[in-house]
Structure 1
Amino acid sequence: MNLRALTRGDAAVAGAAVLLFIASFLPYWTVDCSGRYCGNTSQNAWSTELFPVLPSIYLLGILAAALILVQRFQGKDAANRQVLGLRLDQWGIAFSVAALWTSVWSLGGGPSSGSFGHGFGAWLGVIALVVLAGAAAASPLVPALKAPLVTDRPATAAVPGQYGYPGAPGQPGQPGQYGYPAQGHDPAFGGQVAQGGYGYPGAGQPVATAQPQDAAPAPQPAPAPAADFQPFWFAVPAPRQLAPKENPAGAPVGEVVPGTWYLAVEQRGAALVAQLPDGTQGVLADTSGIQRG
C-alpha cells in the first residue's frame, strides 16, 4: 500500500467508511417498550427485517469508498481506465451520493406509532455518508483536500567533510553548482585556487597545471603522481569509465556518473585517479568539462 498516493480527501473517505461500518452494528430502530413481553427493543441494519437498509445504505457507502481508494492506489496508470464509461473513483462518487440519498429518505419512513424511532446507528450513518460523499466529490476541486496525506521529509543537510558533499550549499541552478560553468570549472585543472583545507569540496588547493590534449594518448605505463598534487572533489558532465590504475588499457573497473561528487586522489598528466564511494580507485582519462568542488 503506497500511502504517498493518498490525499487528505482520500483519508476523509476512508475514515467515513470505517465510521459507516461501525454505525451498521448500532441500533437502527428503537422501540419504546417497558412491558415484560416486549421482546427485542432495537434492531441494527444487519437485521433481515430491515432489508434493504443494509445493502442500499451501509454496504453501498463502503463500496463507494473502496472504489475511490482502489483508483487512487492504481496511480496515474489508471487515470484513463474506465468501466462502462466511468473511472472507478467516479463510480465511487456516484455510489456515495446514492447511499446518502437513500439514508436521508429512510429517516422519514418506518412505523407511524410513537413507540418506534430511528436509533443512533441511523443518524450516525447519515453523518458518515455526508462526510464520505462530500469528501469524494470535493477532493478533485478543493486544494486542501488534494494535498498529499504523506509528504516527503525534507532532505537532511549534509555535513561538510562527508563523502559526496559538494561544499557549496547554494540552490540548484546557481553559479558554482554542478552543470554550470562557474567558479571551480577548469578542464585543465589550472589557474584557480580555492581557499580552505583539505577534507571536502570547495576547500581546494593549488593544482598543477596540465595542458589539454587534442587526442587521447596511446596506452603507456602510468606516470608517477604529481609531487605537489593534493586531493580535491569533482563531478563529470557525462558518464565516463575508470581504467585500472596499473593498466590504463585494461577493462574498466568502475564508472563515474553526473550528479555525484568523486574524490581525485592522484593526478597523472591530464588524467586523474578517482575514488568511488565504495573505495574503488581507477584512472579517469577524459577529464574535459569536469566541475571541481
Structure 2
Amino acid sequence: MNIRSLTRGDGVLIGAAVVLFIASFLDYISYKGLSADAPSAWDSLGNAIGTYMVGVIGAALIVLTRALPQPRKVLGLDVVQFGVAATVFTAWSFFWTIIDLGGVDAGAGLILGLIAALVLAGAAVAGPMVPALKAPLVGAPKPQTPSPYGMQHGQPGQPGVPGGYGYPGAQQPQYGGPQDPSQGAGQPFGAHAVAPQPQAPQQPEPQAAAPAAQPASDFAPFWFAVPVARPLYAEDGSQAPIAELAPGTWYLAVEQRGPGLVAQTQDGRRGVLQDTTGIQRG
C-alpha cells in the first residue's frame, strides 16, 4: 500500500468513516420524559451492521483499492464501485430512518451518523471529479541532490579537508631551496665544487588538446502527478504501454526525452510519458 497515492478525498472518507464508527456507540434514539437508558445501534445488530458498518466497509474498500498499484475487479466491476454503492446506501438508510421515527426522538448517534454518512457519500461520489479532492493528501518528497561522482565526505580535495599530495593545502616538495648541509660531508677538504653547466631551456611538450567539456544537463529529477490516467510506454520506442499512471499518485521524472518524460513508477518500472500536459509538479 502506497500512502502517497491517497488523495484529499480519501482523507475525507477516512475521517467520515471514523466519525460514523464512533456514532454507532452513541444513543440511537431518545425518549422524552423517561429515565430509561437509550439504546445504541449495537443493541440491535441490524442497525449497527446493516447501516453503520456498511458505510465504514464501503469507505475502506474505496481507500484500500485506490492505494493499490493496480485496481481490483470483482465480477467485472471495480471494487471502488462497490464501495461507492455502500456509502450511498448508508446515507439513504439514515435519511429515511431519521424521517420516520414515529413517537421517539433521534439520538446523538443517529444525528451524527446521518451527517457522517452524507459526507461519506459525497466524498465517495465527488472525489474523482472535484479537483480539490483529487489533490494528493501527502506532498511529494524532494529528490536528493546526488554528490559529485567518486567524491565522498572527508576525502582530500573538499573544502576544509587537508589534502594529500597534489591537492591544495598539501605540503609540496621544494625545488631550488636550501639543501641539507650533510649532503657535502663526503667531499675532500679544499676540493672545488664543479659549477653546473648551463643547459638549454627545454621546449615544453605539446599537451594533448583537452576534450571539449560536454554541456551539463539542466534537468533535475522531480516528482509529479498526472491529472488523468495516462499510459507509460517502453523506452525502446515501442507503442506498447508497460504501465498506466493514475491520478493522485506521485511519480519520479528521471530524464527529459524530447517533449516527454522518462518516469519511474512506485514498483521501479521505467517508461516514457508522452503526454505531459497538465501535470502537477511536487
The TM-score normalised by the length of structure 2 is: 0.52
Q: Which residue of 2 aligns with 1:60?
A: 54
For 1:46 and 1:199, how far apart are their aligned partners in 2?
A: 68
For 1:2 and 1:209, how far apart are their aligned partners in 2?
A: 54
For 1:234 and 1:164, how far apart are their aligned partners in 2?
A: 16
The number of residue pairs the alignment matches comes to 165
- List structure 1 segments (4+ residues) > 6 angstroms apart after TM superposition: 232-236
User: 1:235 and 1:46, CA in 2 relative to 1: closer, same or farther beyond 3 A?
Assistant: same
User: 1:163 and 1:41, CA in 2 relative to 1: closer, same or farther beyond 3 A?
Assistant: same
8 Å CA contact retained: 1:33, 1:41:
no
State the shift of 1:66 in Å. Answer: 0.9
Aligned residue for 2:105, secondary structure, equals strand
Q: How does 1:140-289 map to 2 (within 5 A)?
A: 140-155=128-143, 163-164=148-149, 208-210=207-209
Q: How does 1:3-18 map to 2 (within 5 A)?
A: 3-18=3-18
**1:110 counterpart (56, 80, 101):** 101
State the shift of 1:52 in Å. Answer: 2.3
User: 1:164 and 1:143, CA in 2 relative to 1: closer, same or farther beyond 3 A?
Assistant: farther
8 Å CA contact retained: 2:2, 2:68:
no
Give the alignment's Cα RMSD to 1 decimal. 3.3
8 Å CA contact retained: 1:56, 1:102:
no
Q: Which residue of 1 aligns with 2:77?
A: 86
Structure 2: runs of 5 or more not aligned = 151-156, 160-205, 218-253, 255-282
Q: Which residue of 1 aligns with 2:198?
A: none
Q: Which has the higher contact order (CA 8 A, sep 6+)?
A: 2
State the shift of 1:16 in Å. Answer: 0.4
State the shift of 1:157 in Å. Answer: 6.5
User: 1:163 and 1:136, CA in 2 relative to 1: closer, same or farther beyond 3 A?
Assistant: same
**2:127 counterpart (132, 139, 142):** 139
8 Å CA contact retained: 1:65, 1:92:
yes
State the shift of 1:55 in Å. Answer: 2.1
State the shift of 1:210 in Å. Answer: 4.4
Identity value in percent: 40
Aligned residue for 2:99, secondary structure, equals coil
AA at the equivalent of 2:118: V
The TM-score normalised by the length of structure 1 is: 0.50
Deviations 1:238-264 (A, max 9, x none): xxxxxxxxxxxxxxxxxxxxx9xxxxx
Aligned residue for 1:92, secondary structure, equals helix
Larger Rg: 2
For 2:12 and 2:210, how far apart are their aligned partners in 1?
A: 65
8 Å CA contact retained: 1:70, 1:88:
no
8 Å CA contact retained: 2:17, 2:56:
yes
State the shift of 1:54 in Å. Answer: 1.5
Aligned residue for 1:107, secondary structure, equals helix
Aligned residue for 1:43, secondary structure, equals coil
For 1:71 and 1:123, how far apart are their aligned partners in 2?
A: 29
Q: Which residue of 1 aligns with 2:32?
A: 32
For 1:148 and 1:122, how far apart are their aligned partners in 2?
A: 32
